[in-house]
Amino acid sequence: MWGTIGRVAAIYASLGALWWVAINATRTATGCGDWPCLYPTLGAYLLVTVVTLLAAVPLLRRVDVGRAPRVALAAAAVLLAIRGFGEAVPASPSQVTEILRAGLAFTVAGTAGAVLSAPGLAARWRVLGWLVVLALPAAGIAVLWSRYGF
């Protein structure tokens, strides 16, 4: 099981770095950050993200991760929750920090997806894990609320 988790973490770390590079290339290609470019830019971001997450399934199969679609789907759900929490974390002016942050988010999501979809995991641990994942966006809202107030 630990070998599988390590392979999943490595794949998702590389996917996080690749995603960051693709998003920055998309941002540069659109060439504007104003309102007229909002919809095309968001559409391109969504397309890059979906393609990156879909690429995980064949990569996971390639390194012999059983139940690759289930692991990838769980990792995508965890990544969405991490993104919800990440809105409370201020952006860094350093690109190195941002690429490390993206790689870490993808790595944690992939690792959590592998653990939460492991066949030998007891149901109580699986439920507890998903409850923690579901609490992440709420924790982000709490952090924002405590920082800025409403």
**Could you report the per-residue pLDDT of 74-94, keeping only the tens digit for each?**
999 999 999 888 888 888 888
Average pLDDT over residues 23-42: 77
Percent of the chain at pLDDT > 90 equals 39
Q: What is the DSSP letter of 89?
A: S
Q: What percent of the chain has pLDDT over 70?
A: 95
Q: Which amino acid is at 148?
A: Y
Residue 1 confidence (pLDDT) above 70: no
Residue 31 pLDDT greater than 80, yes or no: no
Section 102-118 average pLDDT: 91
pLDDT at 34 over 70: no
State the pLDDT at residue 59. 92
Token pair 């990544």: residue: 79
Q: Which two tokens stand for residue 43?
A: 């559409």
Grouping H, G, I as helix, E, B as strand and the rest as coil, residue 90 is coil
- pLDDT of 146 > 90? The answer is no
pLDDT at 39 over 70: yes
Per the CB < 8 A criterion, the answer to whether 110 and 8 are in contact is yes
Q: How many CA atoms lie within 13 A of 112 on its CB side?
A: 24
Region of 92 on the Ramachandran plot (φ > 0 left; ψ -120 to 50 alpha; else beta): beta
Residues 6+ apart with CB under 8 A from 61: 68
Could you give the CA distance from residue 77 to residue 21 in angstroms, rounded to a whole number?
A: 22
Say whether pLDDT at 61 is over 80: yes
Secondary structure (3-state) at 27: helix
